Amino acid sequence: MNPADTKAYNLKIKTFFGFVELFVIIVLFLFVPAGSFDFWQAWVYSIILVGSSATITFYLWKTDPELLARRVNAGPVAEKERTQKLVQSFNTLLFIAFLVISALDHRYGWSNVPLYIVILGEILVILGYFLIFLAFRENAFASAIIEVTADQKVITTGPYSLVRHPLYMGGLIMMLGTPLALGSWWGLLMFIPFTLGIIWRLLDEEKFLSKNLPGYKEYCQKVRYRLIPFLW
């Protein structure tokens, strides 16, 4: 097997196990704490989650396998900076908490969320994924970890012309919709600490990029807003 074939094979394996991990997360942190598979909100949410992830993965596989390779190398262990290892560990635990609290809410009937709010949550999850897709389409350097590659340049077009971190913006919208899509008011409690975790990550990322990526300081002066246009 030549190096190119080996690289493609390894990417397939990592991508496959990424979806296995997503399936395990759904079962362990949604249906197990819910105590039942009779949880239609979780089924719809899972279909959206897996379907959106698969759509973006397929798109990257066809158009930018290098970016896909950067994305599958993710998580606290993959991070090179100590601060980012801590941030990612914190945010991973909060993501799990979103699911577990929402599942327990369903199990014990703590919340009574109207159907239109559940649908709104599903729309927010889809919207968040769509913004993430737009960021991927524009930025071939959107690694899942904080790093600068040899040929990396500052991206200033598309959603990056409005905010500096459209990926995080999409992620926050998706996580805001998650407990609503799962029919839980209590799950929303995790949104504030999760937002603080994202802010912690992006501020540290900006320090790293300003130091290591030529032109990034100038970009920050040009695009003033980090997450929300005309606000912050």
Single-letter amino acid, residue 28: L
Residue 72 token pair: 């599958």
- Residues 123, 52 contacting (CB under 8 angstroms): no
d(CA 54, CA 56): 6
**196: confidence class by pLDDT, cuts 50, 70, 90:** very high
- Residues 197, 108 contacting (CB under 8 angstroms): no
Domains of the chain by start residue, with CATH: 3-222 (1.20.120.1630)
Q: What is the pLDDT of residues 105-115, one digit of tens each?
A: 999 999 999 99
Q: What angle do CA 171, 82, 141 make, to 5 degrees?
A: 45
Phi/psi for 145 (5° steps) reads -120, 165
- The residue among 23, 56, 19, 29 whose CA lies nearest residue 182 is 29
Q: What is the pLDDT of residues 47-98, one digit of tens each?
A: 999 999 999 988 888 888 888 887 777 667 767 777 888 888 888 899 999 9
Query: Residue 2 above 70 pLDDT?
Result: no
Q: What is the pLDDT of residues 9-52, one digit of tens each?
A: 677 788 888 888 888 889 899 999 999 999 999 999 999 999 99
- Residues 213, 154 contacting (CB under 8 angstroms): yes
**Quick one: CA torsion of 189, 192, 195, 200, rounded to 10 degrees?**
-130
Query: Residue 224 above 70 pLDDT?
Result: yes
- Kindly report the average pLDDT of the chain as a whole number: 89
Cα→Cα distances 53→43, 66, 72, Å: 15, 17, 12
